[in-house]
Amino acid sequence: MSNPSKAGPTIGVFDSGFGGLTVLRRLLPLIPGAHYIYLGDTARLPYGAKSQQTIARYTLSSAQFLEQQGAEMLVVACNTASALAMAELKAGLSIPVVGVIEPGVQAAGPADHAGAPRLASATWDSTEPTVLVLATAATVQSHAYAQACEALGLKAYEKACPLLVPLVEEGWIDHPVTADVLRIYLKEALAAAPTVTTLLLGCTHYPLIEPLVRRTLAELGHPLRIVDSATATAQAASLVLPATASTEAPTCEFYATDSVEKFQRLGSQFLGQTLPKVELIDLGG
């Protein structure tokens, strides 16, 4: 249902699990008075192991739930859904939809003299990769980031990092094992694409290990400009709806399709604050 007591908009945020809470974390200070409805489709993850048709069906059913709850805009805080279900979402919803891939790639492009990203219509000459995308295996296999970079005249090297998500969910944010795994991934990527100048964090789990990424790059003697797709997505979403004059703090409600206790426990780590009550819902198979 909508939240008529709020002066700001109602915004739906969707992910197959917990990672999208990093996008919500970045959104909270950007839209005064907003009411956020977050849905984690934890009963049907991982999306990356499903077919495109199944991913689109799951994503659309989750999005329709959020629209029925009164969402005036949908933020798809899920790389797999953004890569494989955006066409179905835009066709099946009557509200604006923002994914994580386009904003992240836009932010990864060269900046003008004022430091702002250039317009999407601009192109840059690049015969060697200039953008290194770290992402899950499913996102890399979709080549969604490479295609979005190509549309902007950029060349990307995509590196699958399948071990990072379970390590983050284990809470090993600054653990020696995580540092070792990350170092291996980065050394392999930099050996394959030594010309990259920008690293794009193409998974919403990865902002939690950004300090470790930055430190590891420095240790490898290859510092890069780091772009956080969660931050870029939040900034892009904040520009979609009209500005409000509200000075109220944002409010949130949370839904999950499985194990609300686990969602509340892990979600607090991703959101950076304790989650209130999480409601269990059933969206079917």
| Strand-by-strand arrangement of the 131-135 sheet | 156-160, 131-135, 198-201, 225-228
Is 15 marked as binding a ligand? yes
203 is catalytic: yes
Q: Which of 149, 161, 203, 252 is catalytic?
A: 203
Report the candidate in 22, 143, 27 with the shortest Cα–Cα distance to residue 80: 143
Which strand (E) or helix (H) includes residue 278?
strand 278-280
Is 48 marked as binding a ligand? yes
Is 36 marked as binding a ligand? no
Angle between helices 176-192 and 210-219 (to 10 degrees): 60
Is 274 marked as binding a ligand? no
Question: What φ, ψ does residue 271 adopt, rounded to 5°?
Answer: -80, -20
Residue in the block written with tokens 């795994």:
181
149 is catalytic: no
CB 158 within 8 Å of CB 140: yes
Is 3 marked as binding a ligand? no
Is 82 marked as binding a ligand? no
CB 279 within 8 Å of CB 252: no
Q: Which of 78, 149, 161, 252 is catalytic?
A: 78
CB 13 within 8 Å of CB 233: no
CA–CA separation, 106 vs 42, rounded Å?
29
Is 185 marked as binding a ligand? no
Is 35 marked as binding a ligand? no
| Strand-by-strand arrangement of the 97-98 sheet | 97-98, 73-76, 10-15, 35-40, 251-256, 278-280
The catalytic site residues sit at 78, 203
Which residues line the annotated binding site for substrate? 15-16, 47-48, 79-80, 204-205
Which residues line the annotated binding site? 15-16, 47-48, 79-80, 204-205
